[in-house]
Amino acid sequence: MHRLTNTLLAILVATSALLCAPLATAQQTAQPWPTRGWPVSSPEEQGMSSERLARLVDFGAANNMDSVLVARHGRIVLEATYAPFRAGLRHHIYSSTKAVTSTLVGMALGEGLLDSTDRLVVDLLGDRPIGNLDDAKKAMTVRHLLDMTSGLAWQEGLDGPDDSIIAMTRSPDWRQFVLDQPMASAPGARFYYDSGNSHLLSAFLSKATGRSALDYAREKLFGPLGIDDVLWQADPQGISVGGWGLHLQPRDMAKIGYLWLRGGMWEGKQILPATWIESVRRADVDMRESWAVDIRYGLQFWVMPLRNTFMAVGKHRQLIVVMPELDIVAVVTGSARFPYLTSNTVSTPRYRFGTLVGYLAAAVTSDGPAAADPAATGELAEKVKAAAIDQPASGSASIGGPPPMANSISGKTWRFAANPMRIKAYTLKLDDPRPSYEVELDSGRPGAPAGRFGGPIGFDGRFAVGGLMPYGPSAARGAWSADGKSLLLEVQTLGNDDAARVTHVFGDKTVELSIEWAGGFRAKVQGRTED
C-alpha cells in the first residue's frame, strides 16, 4: 500500500478492507482466476436465464454492438460477436482507456511512486514552463484531473464538438498543449469532460515510473492478468494516450473488469489497492447532465450508485460494466455504421446505460445454480451463432456483375499530391476472382501509420474480410452505380469503429475519391495515373 499521510486515510483503509471482504475472500476460493483463459458455463449453472440473455443478444443486434460478453461468478455465460466483427480481435475501447489509466495511477500510488492524489500538478512538472499560469492553475491537483474537475478551458464535453482534441493531436507536444490552456473555472468547481486531463495523468505516470503507461501496464497490469494482445497509441513524445487509444480483446477487457470486481485482487495478490476501487464505488461528482441524473463520476469511472454498478465508458458504448452485488462483469463493444451503401443515415449505439444494466440484472435468477433449461440454452446458442453470420444487406440482390469500367481500371495505380488524408497511392484490382483495394499512406506526422494497406471487397452485399489496416483487418463491400461509371465502397477496420464510404468517380486518367466517415468527417482528393 502507498504511504498514508494522515489518520483519515488509515481509517479509510480499514473500512474499505471490511467492505471489500465479501468480494475478495468469500467468493475467491470457489471461483477461478482467468489468467490463462476464461472458463465457460451455461447461464443456468451460474444462476442466470438463457432466455433473458437471448433478449440481450437481440438488443445488441438492434443497437450496433460488435460484441457482448457476460461473466458471472468468474465464468463466461454469454459471448456473442456481431458480423463482420469476429472473436479474437482487438477493439478500440476509446475512453474506457481512461479507467485503465486511472487503475495504473492507483497502482503507482500503491508502490509509492506517487505519494498522493493531492499533489499539485505544477509541482509534478519540474521546471517545465506553463502558459497562462495563474493562482487557479497552481491550485490544480491530480485528483482534479482524475475527477474531470480541473477547470481547464477545453472544447469537448460529453457530446462534442471535439475541437480541443483535434487541436491537441495536431500539436507537436500534447502534454504542453494541455498544460498551456487557460483556466475556465477554479479547480473543483465543476465537472467538465476533458480528455486532456487524462493525457496529463499518463504523462505523470511516465515521469513517476520512468516508462510509458503501456510499458508500466505490461509489467503491473496486463502481465499479471495474462493480457498480451495489446495496442496502445502514443503521442509524439511516446506518452501513451491517457484518454483513448487502447485496443484490447473483449475477453481481456473482462479480465480488467474482474480485477475491479475483486477489489484489486488477482490470484490471491493485491495488485491494486482496495481503497482505489472503494473510492470509485463512492464516486460523487455530479456530471450535471439531464440524462445522467442517476450517474456520478470519479477517478475516470462512471458510477450508478442506486444500481451498485460502476463502469468504464468509451465512445459508441465501449463498456466494462461491474456489478458487485450480482457478481457480474459485462463487456460491450460497438461502432457507428452505415445501414447500407446507398443510405445517408448513420446509426450509432446510443442506448441508455440503465437499459443495459437492466437486461443484466433481469437475467439473474438466483445466487446459486438454477434448473437447467435445454430449450432456452439451445435458443441462446442459435442466436449467438446467427449474430456472427454476415447477412447480405437489404436490396443487395439487385447487384449485378461488374460493368465494363471494372476491367478498364483494374490494376491501375493512381498517385496523389500531398493531402490531409495522407493518401499517396491507390490501386483497385477488380478483374480478380477476389476483388481488392490497396492504399498507400504517407506518415505525415510522428507516430502516424504509414505503408500499404487494404483488403478484399465483397460485391454481394456482404463484407469481405481480410488484408490489413493500421489497427486491424479490413472489411469492405462495394456496389457500382446504375450507369456503371462510379463505384461506392464501404470500408472499415474491424474493431476500430472507423466506417467510411468512398465514392469513386473515374475520369480518363483520374479518380476522384469523396470520403465520408460515419463520425461525420468528409474529404475529397484526386489522383492521377500514367497508365
Looking at the structure, tell me whether residues 379 and 440 fall in a common domain.
no
Looking at the structure, tell me whether residues 250 and 277 fall in a common domain.
yes
Looking at the structure, tell me whether residues 358 and 407 fall in a common domain.
no
Rounded alpha-carbon distances, angstroms, from residue 14 to 9, 19, 166:
9, 9, 44
Alpha carbon distance 57, 44 (integer Å)? 16
Closest Cα partner for 401 from 477, 460, 455? 460
| Measured distance between the N- and C-terminal CA atoms of the chain, rounded to whole angstroms | 67
Looking at the structure, tell me whether residues 208 and 262 fall in a common domain.
yes
Alpha carbon distance 248, 331 (integer Å)? 11
Q: Which pairing describes strands 451-456 and 285-286: parallel, antiparallel, or unpaired? A: unpaired
Q: Is 80 exceeded by the pLDDT of residue 109?
A: yes
Is 265 contained in some domain?
Answer: yes
Alpha-helical segments (H) within 111-247 = 135-138, 142-146, 163-170, 174-179, 195-209, 213-217, 223-225
**Are the beta carbons of 249 and 494 closer than 8 angstroms?**
no
Last residue of a domain, one of 335, 361, 387: 387
Domain containing 515: what range?
Answer: 396-528
Count of residues making up the chain? 531
Q: Is 50 exceeded by the pLDDT of residue 193?
A: yes
Looking at the structure, tell me whether residues 54 and 157 fall in a common domain.
yes
Q: What pTM value is reported for the model?
A: 0.92
Alpha carbon distance 234, 211 (integer Å)? 12
Is 2 contained in some domain?
Answer: no
| pLDDT (average), residues 164-170 | 96
CATH number at residue 350: 3.40.710.10
Query: Within 10 Å of residue 68's Cβ, how many Cβ atoms?
Result: 28
3-state secondary structure of 425: strand
pLDDT confidence band for 432 (50 / 70 / 90): confident
Looking at the structure, tell me whether residues 334 and 477 fall in a common domain.
no
**Are the beta carbons of 172 and 221 closer than 8 angstroms?**
no
| pLDDT (average), residues 239-257 | 98
Is 408 contained in some domain?
Answer: yes
Report pLDDT digits (tens) over 439-488: 999 987 777 789 999 999 999 999 999 999 999 999 999 999 989 899 99
- Cell numbers placing 470: 493500421
pLDDT confidence band for 397 (50 / 70 / 90): very low
| pLDDT (average), residues 297-318 | 98
CA torsion 482→487→493→499, rounded to 10°? -60
Q: Is 60 exceeded by the pLDDT of residue 57?
A: yes
Report pLDDT digits (tens) over 333-365: 999 998 776 667 899 999 999 999 999 999 999
Last residue of a domain, one of 355, 387, 419: 387
pLDDT confidence band for 506 (50 / 70 / 90): very high
Looking at the structure, tell me whether residues 39 and 132 fall in a common domain.
yes
List, in sequence order, every residue forming a beta bridge with 415; answer none if it has no partner: 425, 528
**Are the beta carbons of 441 and 423 closer than 8 angstroms?**
yes
Is 520 contained in some domain?
Answer: yes
The structural domain count of the chain equals: 2
| pLDDT (average), residues 255-259 | 98
For residue 343, the model assigns a pLDDT of 64
* DSSP symbol at 268: T
Is 1 contained in some domain?
Answer: no
Please report the DSSP string for 160-171 in residue order. Answer: ---HHHHHHHHS
Report pLDDT digits (tens) over 365-392: 999 999 999 999 999 999 999 999 998 8
Alpha carbon distance 114, 252 (integer Å)? 27
pLDDT confidence band for 125 (50 / 70 / 90): confident
Last residue of a domain, one of 387, 420, 447: 387
| pLDDT (average), residues 95-114 | 98
Is 81 contained in some domain?
Answer: yes
The maximal CA–CA distance of the chain, rounded, in angstroms, is 80
For residue 15, the model assigns a pLDDT of 36
Looking at the structure, tell me whether residues 361 and 406 fall in a common domain.
no
Q: Is 90 exceeded by the pLDDT of residue 11?
A: no
For residue 299, the model assigns a pLDDT of 98
| pLDDT (average), residues 242-253 | 98
For residue 26, the model assigns a pLDDT of 38
Q: Is 50 exceeded by the pLDDT of residue 126?
A: yes
* Sheet with 75-81: strands ordered across: 75-81, 65-72, 328-334, 318-323, 309-314, 301-304, 296-298, 285-286
Please report the DSSP string for 378-406 in residue order. Answer: HHHHHHHHHHTS-PPPTTGGG--SPPHHH
Q: Write down the mean pLDDT value for the chain.
A: 92
Closest Cα partner for 177 from 210, 200, 202, 156? 200
Looking at the structure, tell me whether residues 182 and 225 fall in a common domain.
yes
Q: Is 80 exceeded by the pLDDT of residue 43?
A: yes
Looking at the structure, tell me whether residues 305 and 428 fall in a common domain.
no
CATH number at residue 409: 2.40.128
Q: Is 60 exceeded by the pLDDT of residue 19?
A: no
Looking at the structure, tell me whether residues 297 and 415 fall in a common domain.
no
**Are the beta carbons of 149 and 209 closer than 8 angstroms?**
no
Alpha carbon distance 286, 284 (integer Å)? 6
Looking at the structure, tell me whether residues 364 and 413 fall in a common domain.
no
3-state secondary structure of 153: coil
Q: Is 60 exceeded by the pLDDT of residue 103?
A: yes
**Are the beta carbons of 69 and 251 closer than 8 angstroms?**
yes
Query: Within 10 Å of residue 251's Cβ, how many Cβ atoms?
Result: 21
**Are the beta carbons of 259 and 312 closer than 8 angstroms?**
no
For residue 10, the model assigns a pLDDT of 35
Alpha carbon distance 150, 140 (integer Å)? 6
Residues of the chain with pLDDT > 90, as a percent, come to 84
Helix H or strand E segment including 523: strand 522-528
For residue 430, the model assigns a pLDDT of 94
